[in-house]
Amino acid sequence: MRLRPGLALVVLCALPVVTAPALAWGPTGHRITGALADHYLSPRARAGVLDILGTESLEEASTWPDHMRSAPGTFWRVTASPWHYVTVPDGRRWRDQPPPAQGDALTALDRFARTIRDPKASLEERQLALRFAIHIVGDLAQPLHVGKPGDRGGNDVKVSFFGRETNLHAVWDSDLIDHERLAFSEWAGRLHRRLTPDELRAWSNPDPEQWVDDAVAIRGRLYPDNPDLRWDYVFIHRDLLDQQLAKGGLRVAAWLNRLFDAP
């Protein structure tokens, strides 16, 4: 989809320049959350998504905002960058602090929800909003996208992954996932088969503020004592990685169900 000049600024107010972090889940991670979410859409949500995106699947839509970050112009490269993450100090909650002037993932998600439900919004505006919202929900399941002040969500934490120099944020975005050499459909199918009824109930929470609280409680476990990350780090965090990907998929479905099922 190519935006008409100025259209995005009509939908969403222009924001000041900020320094962007690395991407969220890599393409595989986002596609896992999208494919898993597809199993749990309500009939109204499925119809609503179809009405806006047509034959485009949730896994296709989930990666679109990261792809668009390379588009020319300031909207995708500057204005929209803060909408992929939030910053919350240790021991605090997102709701206890004023949102940044440039916005963040939660303020953007609220704005996109209103655009999707706005009968006066154009199809192009609603497509942008829905694709970005699906992406943001997935972003917030990656605990380092709920960053603490000072290290840009782990981007400034230098580590090596099996001898290759990288940073902690990139390890959780892509390296741990790609290390498994699984297609997104294989991974999503495995998560779907293994989810228990208790996990379905606990992780299908549609409240973004609760997701942020959850990430703050988890993220400290991701920081290693030894920056040389190898098999022991992969082994220790494998269950947590599966858990966060499953949460991302269930939250995408829960958020969309609440959005489209509401009067």
pLDDT tens, N- to C-terminus, the chain (263 residues): 334 434 343 333 333 333 344 456 889 999 999 999 999 999 999 999 999 999 999 999 999 999 999 899 899 999 999 999 999 998 888 988 888 999 999 999 999 999 999 999 999 999 999 999 999 999 999 999 999 999 999 999 999 999 999 999 999 999 999 999 999 999 999 999 999 999 999 999 999 999 999 999 999 999 999 999 999 999 999 999 999 999 999 999 999 999 999 87
Per-residue confidence (pLDDT) for residue 189, from 0 to 100: 97
Phi-psi sector, 152: left (phi>0), alpha (psi -120 to 50), beta: left
Question: Quick one: tokens of 10?
Answer: 């009509």
Which residue from 53, 74, 58 is spatially nearest to 5, judged by alpha carbons?
74
List of residues 6+ apart from 99 with CB closer than 8 A: 106, 107
Coil, strand or helix: which one is 246? Answer: helix
Per-residue confidence (pLDDT) for residue 85, from 0 to 100: 94
Is 99 exposed, middle or buried (CB count within 10 Å of its CB: 0-12, 13-18, 19+)?
Answer: middle
Is 20 exposed, middle or buried (CB count within 10 Å of its CB: 0-12, 13-18, 19+)?
Answer: middle
Per-residue confidence (pLDDT) for residue 5, from 0 to 100: 38
According to DSSP, the residues that pair with 160 across neighbouring strands are 165, 228
- From residue 46, alpha-carbon distances to 49, 178, 247 in Å are 5, 29, 19
Domain ranges of the chain: 19-261
* Distance, CA of 38 to CA of 57 (rounded, Å): 8
Is 235 exposed, middle or buried (CB count within 10 Å of its CB: 0-12, 13-18, 19+)?
Answer: exposed
According to DSSP, the residues that pair with 86 across neighbouring strands are 146
Q: Tens of pLDDT along 177-223? A: 999 999 999 999 999 999 999 999 999 999 999 999 999 999 999 99
What is the total residue count of the chain?
263
Per-residue confidence (pLDDT) for residue 131, from 0 to 100: 98
Is 199 exposed, middle or buried (CB count within 10 Å of its CB: 0-12, 13-18, 19+)?
Answer: middle
What class is the 19-261 domain? mainly alpha
Residue 61 has what DSSP assignment?
H
Residue 147, CB-side half-sphere exposure with 13 Å CA sphere? 27
- Asked if 251 and 204 count as a contact pair (C-beta separation under 8 A), the reply is yes
* Distance, CA of 143 to CA of 237 (rounded, Å): 12
Per-residue confidence (pLDDT) for residue 262, from 0 to 100: 85
According to DSSP, the residues that pair with 9 across neighbouring strands are none
Instruction: Label the pairing between strands 164-167 and 158-161.
Output: antiparallel
- Asked if 80 and 71 count as a contact pair (C-beta separation under 8 A), the reply is no
Which residue from 179, 214, 174, 233 is spatially nearest to 30, judged by alpha carbons?
174
